Structure 1
């Protein structure tokens, strides 16, 4: 008889439910144990992420026999444009809807949960051998040079070495990281539930929460509709294919950690191996439409509650700046808001925008509670971009 195996999506849902139940009903010692295991895995994940980016992006670019530089420029411009449009649209929606249901008491209760995290019994310091942004830049250099020079000015030694390296990283991802993702997700929800954030957010700011999620879903629909129109594929099929990565990202809160699952979704979309290995890891670090929607919505909410003037004249420069400054930040849970902190003065002013002040602390609390869905929106848009880039590559670059 064929053994029936539970799929990844059911495992993730089960992990979320178990995490909430543990955080709600079991003693703190059990919660700390689960959070400790999750933290150890998180350290290992942070160690592997730059290696994964270096392996996949390098080989993805190197395998492009034609137009590697053009595809890199096209992908970056699409990702940046998507991020700016998402942030600007978020402000227009938030400034219209939020004044009708945000109260000062609700924000005060959310702020009170900001520091209530479950402590692990111990942690393991496992610093990456290279930081994420350096890995992205190095992958660009190596990939572009190998694509242009291999077989002309250099041999295949370096290419074959990175090909073997990529195979090793792929084995680590599929044999260690993906099987342990439910543990990581479970620990995340244990911490959120035990510290009171899960039910406080749903019970107090659920309207803001719902509006932000709806904005995420709308931008995902727009992105896949455009991708479907360009590629002549059914956008609803593309969205259906994205569900496993969307669910994974909700639990991991990391675009980079979702790369293995997102690559499988891109494969189901019909994106070729060389394009998906190039676009998905790259966009995991440069495309942040979901994060930008959440940050701008939270900033708008804070401004409305504190009487701080806000308009497109302040939001657009803020979004354009973050589109560059937050490169590589979506790879870490909460990384986007932490990277955005030094630039919040562009919205709140120099005095209220002090990174050590209560306004910025409130921004972090609001953002973190919705970070999972922003990350899920990010990775979904990554695959929409992948479908568009694949079409451009097949129709305009290979045919030349």
Structure 2
């Protein structure tokens, strides 16, 4: 008796999320071309997906940041301090590059702003006042109203406090973090359907000019990431080693970046980076800590994504950004990126935090997140490749730099 062939639904379920998103994207474009009126009715599917993202994002930020700080082991900094400095410097530099590129090549998005009040901040002083008031917000109110600044502040405070709790408490918090991450993965599994509805309804309503806008946005994002990988990171490595950085840079991109591009997971690429660090002859007691830590906090690509998409929303809404506010955005983007979730598209869920600096409400910020998922097929792959390859690049630069310093002193 021959086994029945798998159904179309079963075949689709076996495909990777990237492939499913591409199918959803192409199906949305095709429906908008063939039946524009039917495509407009799919807006509800996109709204459900955006609403799910809006619901899960606040608790995701709160639990992941709190668990990360609470379970941080004492004494790690003494072994990897130079690497941590390079991680933070590289992430901040990437955000600055994204600010400059966004101002030179501003992007516009198709956003629905009906019945949504947008209040532009008056300048850096008003932004700082709003930031301070958001920090001291009630934690329950912060979660209910998606006040990501307040959520982040309470998560840091609770994480520091729980570090002194019992081992069982920290284990429970870690299990809670894993549970929230699982729910986020479940929501993101519906990204192909959400993107289908968003693309179909948007193209049918606004025309294919919206797709051109996404292409421009994607070009800015990928251009920033290439610039950081091939120019900014080599400058940082040269500053540390005082020699030609490109052999090391290209090795890390070839050995680590390519695999990370296709796996789209910094965590999944940790074994590759550990093996590369071993082949480079680095200190095992250093890279065994710095590589897994880098997969969590070294997020130059995420900083670029958060900054570019936030400034695209700012430009679309006609909000004027001065230089001090842009620098503040770079700092916030760097901090947000360090806490980006390890799941696919995790950095996109932190965009509302940066948007809140400019008075952009969560309803609009989540539309920007949805746009990020539409271009995420390439954006997330390139972001992961930059993040993961930089983990081993900066680990190698710091280790080799410290070894040469010791040799000179000897």
TM-score, structure 2 normalization: 0.56
Q: Deviations over 1:280-329 (max 9, x none)?
A: 443559952234345667878999xx9x9x9xxx65x4432211244438
How far residue 183 of structure 1 moved from its aligned partner, in angstroms, is: 0.2
CA contact (8 A) 2:95 2:304 kept: yes
| Correspondence for 2:67 among 44, 48, 55 | 55
How far residue 200 of structure 1 moved from its aligned partner, in angstroms, is: 2.5
State how 1:115-126 maps to structure 2 within 5 Å. Answer: 115=113
| Correspondence for 2:293 among 275, 278, 291 | 278
- Separation in 1, partners of 2:68, 2:87: 16
| Correspondence for 2:260 among 224, 228, 242 | 242
Q: Say whether residues 1:181 and 2:181 are aligned partners.
A: no
Q: Say whether residues 1:66 and 2:78 are aligned partners.
A: yes
How far residue 21 of structure 1 moved from its aligned partner, in angstroms, is: 5.6
- Separation in 2, partners of 1:234, 1:223: 14
Query: Which residues of structure 1 form unaligned runs of 5+?
Result: 118-124, 147-153, 247-260, 343-354, 357-362
- In structure 2, the residue matched to 1:11 is 20
- In structure 2, the residue matched to 1:233 is 251
TM-score, structure 1 normalization: 0.58
- In structure 2, the residue matched to 1:149 is none
How far residue 379 of structure 1 moved from its aligned partner, in angstroms, is: 5.2
- In structure 1, the residue matched to 2:6 is none
State how 1:1-400 maps to structure 2 within 5 Å. Answer: 5-18=14-27, 25=35, 26=38, 31-33=43-45, 35-36=47-48, 39-40=51-52, 42-60=54-72, 62=74, 64=76, 66-67=78-79, 72-91=84-103, 94=105, 114-115=112-113, 127=144, 132-134=151-153, 137-138=156-157, 141=160, 158-159=166-167, 161-163=169-171, 165-170=173-178, 173=181, 175-196=182-203, 199-203=208-212, 205=213, 208-209=216-217, 211-219=219-227, 221-222=229-230, 226=234, 233-244=251-262, 261-270=265-274, 274-275=289-290, 277-283=292-298, 288-293=303-308, 315=323, 317-326=324-333, 327-328=335-336, 332=349, 334-335=351-352, 338-341=355-358, 371-372=372-373, 376=380, 380-391=385-396
CA contact (8 A) 2:43 2:198 kept: yes
- Separation in 1, partners of 2:384, 2:158: 20
How far residue 63 of structure 1 moved from its aligned partner, in angstroms, is: 7.8
Q: Go from structure 1 to structure 2 and tell me whether the alpha carbon gap of 1:61 and 1:231 turns closer, same or farther (over 3 Å shift).
A: farther
CA contact (8 A) 2:259 2:385 kept: no
Q: Go from structure 1 to structure 2 and tell me whether the alpha carbon gap of 1:58 and 1:41 turns closer, same or farther (over 3 Å shift).
A: same
Structure 1, 378-387 or 21-30: larger mean CA deviation: 21-30
Structure 1, 79-88 or 217-226: larger mean CA deviation: 217-226
How far residue 266 of structure 1 moved from its aligned partner, in angstroms, is: 4.2
Number of corresponding residues:
326
CA contact (8 A) 1:298 1:366 kept: no
Query: Which residues of structure 2 form unaligned runs of 5+?
Result: 4-9, 116-141, 238-245, 278-286, 338-346
